[in-house]
Structure 1
Amino acid sequence: MSDETTGAGAPLVVGIGGTIGGISSTERALRVALDAAREEGFRTRLFGGEDMARLPLYDPRATSRTPEEQAFVESVRGASAVIIASPGYHGSISGVVKNALDLLEETARDRRPYLADLPVGLIATAYGWQATGSTIAALRSIVHALRGWPTPFAAAINTQLTKFDDAGGVSDPAVREQLRLIGRQVARFAPLAGAVPAE
């Protein structure tokens, strides 16, 4: 988990996404979007594949939560916006991303439950175009069910054509700009949703 701060008291954007087994194209794409949100004055916190791998399979009847589960839920509770990135697995989102989102049931009785009133940016990556569209559609449906507001633009990335590197580079400048647009949109819409705490 990375926590990058632009200033004390700055509103928070939480990024959720990646795959188990190392930093993936999905997680790298999410980092580009989070960087753009940070440039707009937001703090960012990333829950990548390694973080999600530590979350046990969600059990709604569990009487206690692990420290990793608690940290994830508390971060989302404190967020002014969220960005979710998932690889397309068999035409839909990955199990680890879905498991993390299922854990937000812990917020059901909060004053602001789930992702209510939060702008949520969406990113889907897949080795080919077919799974990107269905994965974005699945993410939109889940965000609506969690009472969030998907931002108007979502990035569908074909990793056959677009490559990412460890330094944050993207082989296609147009894709890089799409990812940055997602970061800027969640930053722009957070105040409209009333999600940014008053000064």
Structure 2
Amino acid sequence: MGDVKSRRERYAEMTRAAVLDNARRLFAERGFDATSVDDIAQATEISKGGVYHHFADKKELFAELFADVLRTSMKTVLTAIADMDTDLERAVEGGRAFLRGITADHIALALFATANSVLGVERVRKIDEDTVLPLVRALMQGLRDTGQIRDVPIDATARLIFALMCEATVYIAEQGNDELARQDMDAAMAAFLRGLARPA
């Protein structure tokens, strides 16, 4: 009986993953509004009820995809900063890695750029709070504790930096994911972060 249950669980996990994969592709190709739950069900080869078994509605699907974009970006950031010598340079490289991580994947970029309009600002902030802001706060706290940056309020600074990263990503998306736009935002973000450094 336990084996039957585990097979069912595995099937449910595979179905859920397939629903997410197809929704991700369809949202990027057609846009959120032009994609129906029926479209996602047909692409996944399950019933509409099968989609609703895993997700309450289309927005819930989008929210999970958006959170996954942020989680994946944070993994990219952690890998990029693992071998950096100083915390300040880790913060600068972390900002660059965040931009590269999202803009390198056109589907992730499309999801990111439309998140506020689909989910609303409050829902997006909650997802940010659960996925990205803890790492940004920890980086800022480490910088302040070691005297590398000015005595700034940690939470406010972390939120401001993340808002800068988000706006940079949206700007790059609006510019058609242009390499020059990415370089401009890299330079601006690095200058902003280095501007927090405590004067020698």
> When the two structures are superposed, what TM-score results if normalisation uses the length of structure 2?
0.32
Q: Of the two, which has the highest radius of gyration?
A: 2
**Larger fraction in strand:** 1
TM-score normalised according to structure 1 size: 0.32
* Higher helix fraction (1 or 2): 2
